[in-house]
Chain A
Amino acid sequence: ILNVEQSPQSLHVQEGDSTNFTCSFPSSNFYALHWYRWETAKSPEALFVMTLNGDEKKKGRISATLNTKEGYSYLYIKGSQPEDSATYLCAFEGNTPLVFGKGTRLSVIA
């Protein structure tokens, strides 16, 4: 059974703080690692799809890094804003359909 773990489960930060959270995944049969952002009452939206070891992707204040050898990815948010409040999901893509972690629920307090 593939295990995709995310930590922490939830996080509360003050507006303006920078934060990061972790996704760990199997290092074998790796094809890609996905990050999704899921706001309450909406559907998950793709942030990044990362395939190469050492890859770093950036979208505005959000960035992600990937280490396929040790099986982890970090998501960073710089200068958190209340609109960043959401659940952030990572998903492992191997030779099966995407396997999702349970997510990190981020709350940014104004």
Chain B
Amino acid sequence: NAGVMQNPRHLVRRRGQEARLRCSPMKGHSHVYWYRQLPEEGLKFMVYLQKENIIDESGMPKERFSAEFPKEGPSILRIQQVVRGDSAAYFCASSPHGNSPLHFGNGTRLTVT
């Protein structure tokens, strides 16, 4: 039973480009969470999705960031017109129901040059 799969592991983008981060949850999990880890900071909640629905996006920056979890395929976190401050590790986690407990992917490290 494969765990949470995130790709790519590392992503380098120039300022102004778009970044697309993918997350395939564990089989049977319909709840997906995205967290961001900035340097020297803890995991900060960004968005919580269920299939085709955004449940809570209170941690998402208002501009340039969007997330989706379509009926088929992985969840996508999309960052448009990236800036240097977007450089961070982005972690996806899934669960079969609600919060308990979360199963994390290995993260995508985004570097904006």
What is the chain A residue whose CB lies nearest that of B40? A102
User: How many residues of chain A get a CB closer than 8 Å to chain B's CBs?
Assistant: 20
Q: Is B99 an interface residue (CB 8 A)?
A: yes
Of the candidates A32, A46, A101, the one having the most CB atoms from chain B within 10 angstroms of its own CB is A46
- B54 interface hit (Cβ, 8 Å): no
Chain B residues near A97 (CB, 8 Å)? 33, 45, 48, 56, 59, 99
Q: Nearest Cβ distance between residue B43 and chain A, in whole angstroms?
A: 4
Q: Across the A-B interface, how many residue pairs have beta carbons closer than 8 Å?
A: 54
For chain A, residues 29 to 45, give those with C-beta under 8 angstroms from any C-beta of chain B: 31-32, 34, 36, 42-45
> Contact partner of B42 among A34, A45, A89, CB < 8 A?
A89
Q: How far is the CA of A100 from the CA of B101 in the complex (A)?
A: 13
In the complex, what residues of B have CB within 8 A of residue A99's CB? 45
The size bracket of the interface on B is 20 to 34
> Secondary structure of the B side of the interface?
loop
Q: Are A43 and B105 in contact (CB under 8 A)?
A: yes
Given the known inter-chain contacts A43-B4, A43-B91, A101-B42, please indicate yes or no for A93 contacting B99, CB distance below 8 A: yes
CB-based nearest B residue for A6 = B42
A102 to B3 alpha-carbon distance, docked (Å): 24
Interchain CB contact under 8 A, B106 and A34 = no
B25 at the interface (CB under 8 A from A): no
Q: Which 8 residue pairs of A and B lie closest in terms of their CB atoms, listed nearest first?
A: A46-B101, A102-B42, A43-B104, A100-B43, A44-B104, A97-B48, A43-B106, A93-B99
Which residues from chain B sit less than 8 Å from chain A, CB to CB? 3-4, 33, 35, 41-45, 48, 56, 58-59, 91, 99-107
Q: Chain A residues in contact with chain B, CB under 8 A?
A: 31-32, 34, 36, 42-46, 49, 89, 93, 96-103
